[in-house]
Structure 1
Amino acid sequence: MSADWLLSIANLRMIPDAVLALPAKGAINFHDGPLPAYAGLNTPAWAIINGETTHGVSWHVIEGGVDEGDLLAQKMIDIAPDETAFTLNSKCYAAGMESFGAVLSQLEADQLERRPQDLTQRSYFARDQRPGGRAFWT
């Protein structure tokens, strides 16, 4: 079996290099954060903790380090004052579905609209960096 592209969507594990080498043209990742500002894991929770008013999703080529590849599409979303990590994550997946058409168009045309990330603007939230829980009893 062969494939032109590997799409990584809702995947929380690093894809082994042997698997990344299988598709003929490359691999693309859906990320639930606006890159390069929110790379890594639990980015909707971190955006709320950091007091952001907007967040977003990114589609990027898998190359280089974690969440460092060239961007193909992004979609920004508003964070409501009463937002939770769950509701923001749900908005991220909706934004991912809405923005997937832009990625699919690039794949169909066999012409990626690659935009390098400005990694000087990068924040990275590692697997062992867990957001603290908050309870609001009102």
Structure 2
Amino acid sequence: MKVIFMGTPDFAVGTLEAIVAAGHEVVLAVTQPDKPKGRGKSMQYPPVKEAAIAHDIEVYQPERVRRLECIEYLAKYQPDIIVVAAFGQILPKEILEMPKYGCINVHASLLPKYRGAAPIQWAVINGEKTSGVTIMRMDEGLDTGDMIASVIVELDAQETGGSLFDKLQDAGAQLCVETMKSIEDGTAVYTPQDNEIATHTKMIQ
């Protein structure tokens, strides 16, 4: 499939790498703008930008994806699907409806639990015995779209945010590629989330 990939931190890199390895055509990587870091305030590339450059994938770094110029820029690529993993901005309806197969999101929790930011850290803080990754079809809400696939990951007694991050990054990358195949061949099943049992997380500063 012709893919636009949207993501920013290390968590998203595994999914981008898996999509490329599966033979999909990633026509554009959309990520957050470079940010100054360290005492010298030198500009640092987001991890997804570094990975995209390594694969000769064009990179686009809009300040706001809701702006008309961004929507028009993405539309010219005519993507079959947009894959989002920890991108950091809410997508407008115009982008959600743009691809043939819609937009899917790789979310690091077993939805509808832990919607929002930092689900990995909060799973560890709250002493969860299991976590996982959910692939959902995106809508205009925050992690509220229909679920397509999920995978459960067990937490060890000594689990840390870092170790769970690694587990979920790998699990999410594999699950995303499998889900893309089911979407393309028409076997994907879309299950609405139960909003009554949903929980939400907040950003950890």
**CA shift digits 1:51-78 (9 cap, x unpaired):** 1111000000001411011101100101
Which one scores higher on RCO, CA 8 angstroms, separation ≥ 6? 1
CA distance in 1, matches of 2:150, 2:122: 18
- State the shift of 1:126 in Å: 3.1
**CA shift digits 1:95-132 (9 cap, x unpaired):** 112322430222221343101111111001134xx27x
Q: Tell me what 2:121 maps to.
A: 45
91, 98, 107: which one aligns with 1:31: 107
Q: Tell me what 1:90 maps to.
A: 166
CA distance in 1, matches of 2:175, 2:101: 21
Q: Tell me what 1:123 maps to.
A: 199
CA distance in 2, matches of 1:51, 1:77: 14
What is the aligned-residue RMSD (CA, Å)? 1.7
* Secondary structure, aligned partner of 1:37: coil
CA distance in 1, matches of 2:188, 2:93: 22
* Secondary structure, aligned partner of 1:55: strand
Bigger-Rg structure (1/2): 2
CA distance in 1, matches of 2:140, 2:78: 23
Counterpart residue type for residue 120 of structure 1 = E
Instruction: Tell me which moved more, 27-36 or 13-22.
Output: 13-22
Contact in 1 for aligned 2:110/2:133 (Cα 8 Å):
yes
Q: Tell me what 1:17 maps to.
A: 93
What residue ranges of structure 1 are gaps of 5+ in the alignment? 132-138
CA distance in 2, matches of 1:21, 1:109: 20
CA distance in 2, matches of 1:125, 1:39: 6
C-alpha spacing 1:12/1:93, structure 2 compared with 1 (3 Å): same
CA distance in 2, matches of 1:72, 1:26: 12
Q: Tell me what 2:178 maps to.
A: 102
133, 139, 148: which one aligns with 1:57: 133
Stretches of 4+ aligned residues off by more than 2 angstroms: 15-22
Q: What is the number of residues matched between the two proteins?
A: 129
* Secondary structure, aligned partner of 1:98: helix
After TM superposition, the score normalised by the length of structure 2 is 0.58
After TM superposition, the score normalised by the length of structure 1 is 0.84
Q: Tell me what 2:12 maps to.
A: none
CA distance in 1, matches of 2:194, 2:176: 22
Counterpart residue type for residue 42 of structure 1 = A
**CA shift digits 1:8-36 (9 cap, x unpaired):** 02322222333323223311000011100
